[in-house]
Amino acid sequence: MHGEAEGVPLIPVSDPYRLSQSATRKAHQMILRSAGPSPFGRKVKIVAKLTGHYEGLKVEATDLMNPDDSIRTQNPLGKIPALVLDNGMVLYDSRVICEYLDAQSQGAGVFPDGAARWEALRQQALGDGIMDAGIVQVYEKRMRPEDKRHTPWTTYQQEKIDRALAALEASPPASSATPTIGEIAIACALGYLDFRFEGAWRKGHPALVAWLEAFSAAVPAFDETAPQA
Ligand SMILES: N[C@@H](CCC(=O)N[C@@H](CS)C(=O)NCC(=O)O)C(=O)O
């Protein structure tokens, strides 16, 4: 049986999808691999707060570009967020982690039942898609030398964001007392656009701006998890 004592390496190195040999942790503590600016990590942190799991979570910074960072053995895709459970199993990606946290809670309702579930999952896909298209543009700048960048590619990605914003402006999410995963994902996507794209989205989307203001007033976890450079 894997050790549960504090300070004892829990998982043998022969189990590559679990904790690295050097990792140690307190019993019953989950480890969230994330990074300050990650909008997907922010989704998970908000859901952890809403479901009462945040106190039991140790957030461990990740250096995605460091080949020796254990994220690459914890998640073969080398992506964050990843959640190391207290039995050593690693869950990824943010959708799986959020659903897991919600399922462990006493009906936080982040993933509603019935027809509302499909609306929430669709909104989550839209919010996640905005983040994906934003991250691709950030990486294009970060990873490629200027003379190798391909503007039509970043324009193609930006158009996804523009269409998503237009759809949301025409039909903003509801302001539920209990925020759904869809509302959380959209708020995190808009927060990411604020963080990395200087809030340019705000121009021409007054209904969405008002929605985000109402969301951040109703859900303190949103401001509490604001991205850090
Ligand atoms: N669908 C994934 C997306 C995660 C993602 O793209 N994370 C970014 C950081 S915010 C990442 O790890 N990028 C590194 C890479 O793509 O290799 C999720 O929901 O968790």
The answer, yes or no, to whether any atom of ligand 1 lies below 6 A from the CB of 40, is yes
- Mean pLDDT value across residues 93-98: 98
Dump pLDDT digits (tens) for 131-153. 999 999 999 999 999 999 999 99
> Please, what are the domains in the chain?
1-108 (3.40.30.10), 115-221 (1.20.1050.10)
pLDDT at 24: 45
CA 80 to ligand 1: nearest atom: 12
Q: What pLDDT is recorded for position 47?
A: 98
Query: Is residue 226 within 6 Å of ligand 1 at its C-beta?
Result: no
Average the pLDDT over each of 10-19, 116-125, 178-187 and give the range with the smallest value. Answer: 10-19
Tens of pLDDT along 9-37?
233 333 333 333 334 444 468 999 999 99
SS3 letters for the chain? CCCCCCCCCCCCCCCCCCCCCCCCCCCCCEEEEECCCCHHHHHHHHHHHHCCCHHHEEEEECCCCCCCCCHHHHCCCCCCCEEECCCCCEECCHHHHHHHHHHHCCCCCCCCCCHHHHHHHHHHHHHHHHHHHHHHHHHHHHHCCHHHCCHHHHHHHHHHHHHHHHHHHHCCCCCCCCCCHHHHHHHHHHHHHHHHCCCHHHCCCHHHHHHHHHHHHHCHHHHHCCCCC
Q: How far is the CA of 1 from the centre of ligand 1 (A)?
A: 32
Residue 228: per-residue pLDDT: 84
Residue of the nearest CA to atom 17 in ligand 1? 79
Mutate to test the pocket of ligand 1, among 59, 77, 80 (most ligand atoms within 8 A of CB): 80
Ligand 1 atom with least separation from CA of 95: 19
The rounded Å distance from CA 37 to ligand 1 centre is 11
